[in-house]
Amino acid sequence: MTVCRAKLSQHLFRAQLLAVRKRSVAGTAQISYRAIGDPLGQGSFGTVFQIKTRDNATVAAIKCIKKNVLDGERELLRVKSEFSCWRALSGHPNVIRLIAFLETESHWCFVMEYIDLGSLSQVLRSNDIQLTRSQIRRIAAQLCHAVSTVHAAGYIHRDISCSNVMLTSRLDARLIDFGLSTKGHVGQNRCGSLAYMAPEVLRKRPGGCGSDWWSVGIVLFAMLMGKTPLAIHAYKKKIDLAVVSRDIRFALARATPIRISRRLKPEEKSLLIDILREDPNERLGARNNMDFDEIKRHEFFKNFDWKPLDCARATIVARLARKRLRANPVAPERRYLELE
């Protein structure tokens, strides 16, 4: 999707986005925005840009969805769904913080915190950063807790991948991109990143919480092995996924085996086996009524301190329960909405 940056800057910074400076984005209320910076990446349905200050510092990011791409009411509902899910989860320390939602003449825009290091996929491709086993365990624990909180809030993410896990300079994980998220625990459409799609999703069967946990398992596999099973399988078959047709890519994904290396430690192999089960209801995280304590008790996460994350999750779930008692879920129907 192409966005005219100059025109977008003119629309945003002439009026609506200036209202955001009333909130602290970078630890100060005296922020004066100047312009949209360089693109940071592509989301499910929009492009993400840097937000620059007058001294050219990056203080936030903004995801812009062009209105003329929206397919009528169905696509508008998708924007509302992304907003509702993201807003509900924004208080979790391992979900990227949503600062504001706003509307211009041509775009729907989500203003979010800026993460300096980049995505997990960029880190795994980098020669400068080699994740240690301790760091992998921490990232995996934070991602698992974030996904469990998404489900506890009544949503499924449907697009978990290494590209949708951002890492801070301290290597803390931030789950991003709720463009495909949906209310409830069953999704009907095949969507997500191909290498991370669960077997049932690849077969065009309804996906749910178990499908999200499969994607988490592939992220963990990629951290431990360096690549996804699909990338490894394609390399062995000497197939360039970037040039073959969509049908060939999907056929290859359906035929990709999950081969767990003998070089991994027993607790690493055990975790992958437990999450990457064929039956979605038997996957760790989804089984036994989504009992997250099973994950916390797993040997792989031994001695990890879950208490700070559990407190954040309890706050989110309690807040959502109070809102359900008061009114219907909030949707972005005003010209400008800012988080509490």
Q: Which residues are annotated as a binding site?
A: 67
| Annotated binding-site ranges for ATP | 67
Give me the sign of the Cα torsion angle 70, 75, 80, 83: negative
The SS3 call for residue 54 is coil
| Closest to 52 in 3D by CA, of 26, 16, 28 | 26
Distance separating alpha carbons of residues 312 and 149, to the nearest angstrom:
9
Task: Give the span between the Cα atoms of 114 and 295, in whole angstroms.
Answer: 30
Q: Strand pairing partners for 110?
A: 63, 101
Give the pair of three-digit tokens for residue 157. Answer: 């993410």
Q: Tell the residue number behind the tokens 């050219």, with chain if given.
A: 56
Q: Are 65 and 59 in contact (CB under 8 A)?
A: no
CA dihedral 304, 311, 313, 318 (to 10 degrees): 160
Q: Spell out the SS3 assignment of 249-317.
A: HHHHHHHCCCCCCCCCCHHHHHHHHHHCCCCHHHCCCCHHHHCCHHHHHCHHHCCCCCHHHHHHHHHHH
**Which run of H or of E encompasses 166?**
strand 165-167
